[in-house]
């Protein structure tokens, strides 16, 4: 189980907060972002534990709750850069075979940009929207995936409504990809931004998965509109209206 970072404060000690001065030529927004990063306990913990970013704890917390990263599982991480989700998946599906008593899994990461190698994962530079991308992924996996996951976000425009629509479109594209590569009873996990346009996407998920949950893990910043959808029990693309198990 992943545990949240602890802030130490109390009698005889105090919590130290790093203050960053706005340098000449640097925007105030950049200074505030840097200050937040330096004081974020999850950023600090990621550095200590060797993860490539604080996002690693989000997938840990989601898996702690729903248990979709199983030893022996085949996992596809869409838009995997910088690689934190792959790192977590490698350990949890036993991709390095470090536990000889459990089956060895496979972690496949794809991204538009080149990604530094990750022990236990196979990384490909690929646009998952391109023709034949799904067939390439199934070939590389040697079959279908048990989990398709995505922490992708479209480039921010600065307009909240536009950014919401862009990420929903990206999630829907990732979902269409998952329909093509997921094994029966597989799981789809993706980041979304709350904003109202996700209703159609949720309806599609509920038609095609037996259980759909929308959740904000503890490591997701409270001031962020991000949340994650976890859809489990893939039953194939269907127009049937069998009611799924819902979880808020």
* Residues annotated catalytic, as ranges: 191
Pairing relationship of beta strands 245-247 and 209-215 according to DSSP bridges: parallel
Question: Does 77 appear as a known binding residue?
Answer: no
How many Å apart are CA 196 and CA 202, to the nearest integer? 11
Question: Does 127 appear as a known binding residue?
Answer: yes
Residue 204 in tokens: 């599609």
Question: Does 111 appear as a known binding residue?
Answer: yes
Q: In what order do the strands lie in the sheet with 74-78?
A: 121-125, 106-111, 74-78, 145-150, 182-193, 226-234, 209-215, 245-247
Question: Does 83 appear as a known binding residue?
Answer: yes
Distances (CA, A) of 62 to 99, 111, 153: 22, 22, 18
Eight-state DSSP code of residue 99: S
Question: Does 84 appear as a known binding residue?
Answer: no
Task: Please state the φ and ψ torsions of residue 197, each to the nearest 5 degrees.
Answer: -85, 0
User: C-alpha dihedral over 37, 194, 201, 174, to 10 degrees?
Assistant: -10
Q: Which residues define the annotated binding site for S-adenosyl-L-methionine? A: 83, 85, 111, 127, 151
Q: Which residues define the annotated binding site? A: 83, 85, 111, 127, 151
């Amino acid at each position: 189980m992943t545990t949240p970072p602890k802030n130490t404060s109390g009698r005889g000690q105090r919590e130290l907060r790093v203050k960053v001065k706005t340098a000449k030529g640097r925007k105030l927004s950049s200074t505030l972002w840097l200050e937040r990063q330096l004081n974020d306990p999850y950023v600090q913990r990621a550095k200590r534990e060797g993860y490539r970013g604080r996002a690693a704890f989000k997938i840990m917390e989601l898996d702690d709750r729903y248990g979709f990263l199983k030893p022996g599982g085949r996992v596809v991480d869409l838009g995997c850069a910088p690689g934190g989700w792959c790192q977590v998946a490698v350990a949890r599906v036993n991709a390095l075979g470090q536990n000889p008593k459990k089956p060895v899994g496979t972690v496949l990461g794809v991204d538009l940009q080149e990604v530094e190698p990750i022990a236990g994962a196979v990384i490909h530079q690929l646009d998952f929207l391109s023709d034949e991308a799904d067939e390439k992924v199934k070939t590389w996996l040697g079959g279908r995936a048990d989990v398709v996951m995505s922490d992708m976000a479209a480039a921010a425009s600065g307009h909240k409504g536009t950014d919401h629509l862009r990420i929903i479109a990206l999630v829907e594209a990732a979902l269409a990809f998952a329909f093509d590569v997921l094994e029966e009873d597989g799981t789809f996990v993706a980041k979304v931004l709350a904003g109202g346009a996700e209703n159609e996407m949720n309806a599609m998920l509920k038609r095609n998965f037996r259980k759909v949950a929308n959740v904000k893990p503890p490591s997701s910043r409270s001031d962020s509109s991000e949340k994650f959808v976890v859809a489990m029990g893939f039953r194939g693309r269907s127009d049937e209206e069998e009611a799924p198990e819902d979880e808020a």
